[in-house]
Amino acid sequence: MRPLLLISGCLSLIASAVSAQTVVGPGAQSTLSPDVQRSPGRYLQIEGRADGAPTAFVVTTESPNLPSNVETLSIRAVGRWEVCEGFRFTGECKVIEGRYQRRQQTGLRRIFSARPVEG
Any idea what the CATH number is for the domain that residue 110 is in?
Answer: 2.60.20.10
Q: What percent of the chain has pLDDT over 70?
A: 66
Checking if the pLDDT of 31 tops 60, the result is: no
Residue 107 structural domain: 2-116
Q: Where are the alpha helices (DSSP H) in the chain?
A: 2-17, 34-38
Q: What is the pLDDT of residue 64?
A: 97
Whether the pTM exceeds 0.75: the reply is no
pLDDT winner (highest mean) among 7-16, 26-35, 51-60: 51-60
**Tally of domains within the chain:** 1
- With b for 16 or more beta-carbon neighbours within 10 A and e for fewer, the 76-104 pattern comes to bbbeebbbbbeeebeeebeebeeebeebe
